Structure 1
């Protein structure tokens, strides 16, 4: 068993609070030293109380799923002796209403574009690597969101 943490830090500053007119921008601080600017999506909290240039929790959720899948895919490809030159995933998460007053990211679609050294492996091999990566991904195993993998062709 292992533990993983993050520090979430926010300060009001001199803005109001009870009237809702305060910035929601904050920081995510990780044990390795990375600091990420975070904010709610402007689709959820309008500017100026949100910051579109910062990462929002929904984007981070999608990125965590996509990153976990990629890391497993790379590991499994290396075990098979396949050399991956590049991996780019333009993943998309869909937020939908799940009950009155409640929303959730109900689906994440991973759309990896993978370039291999040498000849492209057979489609069945690549699909098997994606299936195995999905089964092993800690984040995918932790959520009830539907996760689909739709590999994209590599543009040469």
Structure 2
């Protein structure tokens, strides 16, 4: 199964030189939804827009949540509310490159109905969801590049 997005940026006549260029850009999803994004504020980005690290964390937290909901529903639990205030950290990976080196998901879940998990089963449900989460399983994914150089006339 293939998933697609379009990330686009344009200079629009603004300055473009070392450490002096616009980082704001648009990300369009296959369904037509579009969001504004930028680099992190610490990298001269726009703090009012999502940065790539936040988008990665959002994908991870969203995938874990959706997988957890499926795991719980498949086992007959009813969930009323799920909130996750997730955080990730940049640092040096074992190769010495700057990377997202740690993510902490902190889901708070409210169940309803007669069937309620105890703390140990709750932890096990999250572990199962983590092992099945597509994004969690992809963090160290191979990235292939297929660049296209456009001419000035394109």
Question: Is the pair's TM-score, using the shorter chain for normalization, greater than 0.5?
Answer: yes
1:104-146 Cα distance to aligned partner (Å, 9 max, x none): 111100000001113642112211110110111011111149x
- Provide the TM-score with structure 1 as the length reference: 0.83
1:39-67 Cα distance to aligned partner (Å, 9 max, x none): 0001122xxxx211111000011111111
Query: What CA distance in whole angstroms lies between the structure 1 residues aligned with 2:111 and 2:93?
Result: 40
Identify unmatched segments of 5+ residues in structure 1: 146-156
Distance 1:30 1:58, change over 3 A: same
* Number of the residue aligned with 2:21: 22
Which of structure 1's runs of 4+ aligned residues deviate more than 4 A? none
Query: What CA distance in whole angstroms lies between the structure 1 residues aligned with 2:73 and 2:18?
Result: 55
Question: CA offset at residue 101 of structure 1?
Answer: 6.9
Count of residue pairs the alignment pairs up: 140
* Number of the residue aligned with 1:6: 5
Q: Secondary structure at the match of 1:43?
A: helix
Asked if the contact 1:95–1:106 (Cα under 8 Å) also holds between the matched residues in 2, the reply is yes
Question: CA offset at residue 103 of structure 1?
Answer: 0.7
1:50-95 Cα distance to aligned partner (Å, 9 max, x none): 2111110000111111110000000111111111111000001011
* Number of the residue aligned with 1:108: 103
* Number of the residue aligned with 1:123: 119
* Number of the residue aligned with 1:141: 137
Q: Secondary structure at the match of 1:133?
A: helix
* Number of the residue aligned with 1:85: 80
Query: What CA distance in whole angstroms lies between the structure 2 residues aligned with 1:110 and 1:94?
Result: 12
Query: What CA distance in whole angstroms lies between the structure 2 residues aligned with 1:79 and 1:70?
Result: 14
Identify unmatched segments of 5+ residues in structure 2: 142-154
Q: Secondary structure at the match of 2:54?
A: helix
What CA RMSD, in Å, does the superposition of the two structures yield over aligned residues? 1.8
